[in-house]
Chains A and B, each alone.
Chain A
Amino acid sequence: MQLTKSRDHHVARLNRLIQVALLSGLVLSMALMLIGSLLYFLGNQGAPAIAFGTLFADLAAGNPLAFMVSGIVVLMITPALRVLVAALGYLLEGDWRYALVSLGVVVVLAVSVLIGAV
């Protein structure tokens, strides 16, 4: 009984952490996309395509596409972050099996980024 209680407690804490991670990711991404869209409609429509290398400079310059791309990137990172948080949570709990499973998913996601980069 003691064991399940402590496991439930861990699960609840992990869930709260995941919830915060998801909410911040979604809000930040939507905000960036909306700002980008607003900038686009406020007239900066002829902005050049952007590259990752100059992303921060483009953001500072108020390039609408830079905001939109940042929003997309934040959104793409959010579920991956959730998997990472879950992996860390399982590690802290000493639940090696599911820490490994979660890290396996992280590896597959990392491979997909690498495949994309090739």
Chain B
Amino acid sequence: MYLSILLVGLFSGLFGAMIGSGGGVFLIPLLTLLLGVPITEAIGASIIAVIATSTASAIAYVGDELTNIRLGMTLELSTTIGAVLGGVTAAFLSKNVLAGLFAAAMVPTILSLWRKKEEDPNAVVAGADAPKGPLDATFYDPKLGREVSYRVKRLPLGLCVSFIAGNISGLLGIGGGAIKVPAMTLGMGVPMKAAAATSNFMIGVTAVASAYIYYSRGDVHPMIAVPTAIGVTLGALAGSRIGPRLRTRSLTRLFAGIMAVMALQMGLSAFGITLR
């Protein structure tokens, strides 16, 4: 069991990093559908893995000074409260309801993967605003070859979206970056790179907020969480190296297809129907 969980973790981390999302969307369906791990323990293991990968990539990000810690910390106030409430709520939901919610939460990720265009480094026009408030920041973008400054707009909107993202994270054990990053880039005027780094910083802290609750409830089983965390971390490290070169449209579509099948299976399992 340990080795099969390690393998599932490896692939989840690898695939997650290759398509530029966390491993949770692969990990939890694979653990529950393939290995028969109870969904609450799969979520507990996923939260631990999320902390590990978020910490690992945060180390690289801090050096780049892309992470806007002031902004992340401010949004973290509402995200952690959302995560704690989500973690508490999960205890009152049946496993079937959790599986159904997870299947539903996979749909937006699948759709955005399917529609994802080839990455264009110049797609995000960096704001030319000089920093003014304490949340505004500047970072050096090696690809553009110059410093990028931005002003943070619509903080209340960011706080609301962060609360929802935290809630989903605490409830389903996924990072929630797929919600936070668009909110920051489209809603708050934060450049893509800074938004991704800041979201990554937040995901680790958010996961911790619900991890304590899952842990004390006994849903962080060492024999499941440890191979998951080791596997996902190693897989994500490998995936972040080979990922950018392999991230083609057909590959992301293939992953979107696999995820759609898993979402369907999880959705059906919510109604007690299992297809193996």
Contact = CB atoms under 8 A, between A and B. Distances in A.
Interface of A: 11-12, 14-15, 18-19, 22-23, 25-26, 29-30, 33-34, 36-37, 40-41, 65, 68-69, 71-72, 75-76, 78-80, 82-83, 86, 95, 97-98, 101-102, 104-105, 108-109, 111-113, 115-117
Interface stretch (B23-31, B57-65, B92-100, B110-118): B57-65
A98 B87 contact: no
B223 interface: yes
Interface residues of B, number: 46
Contact of A80 (B70, B208, B225): B208
Main secondary structure of the interface of A (DSSP, over half): helix
A76 B216 CA distance: 12
Main secondary structure of the interface of B (DSSP, over half): helix
A83 B59 contact: no
Given A36-B226, A37-B230, A115-B88, A19 B59 contact: yes
A83 B226 contact: no
Given A22-B59, A36-B222, A98-B134, A29 B52 contact: yes
B80 A23 contact: no
Given A33-B230, A40-B2, A115-B84, A79 B55 contact: yes
Contact of B222 (A22, A68, A117): A68
B217 A116 contact: yes
B134 A116 contact: no
Nearest to B58: A22
A35 to B, nearest CB: 11
A40 B84 CA distance: 33
A33 B234 CA distance: 13
B73 interface: yes
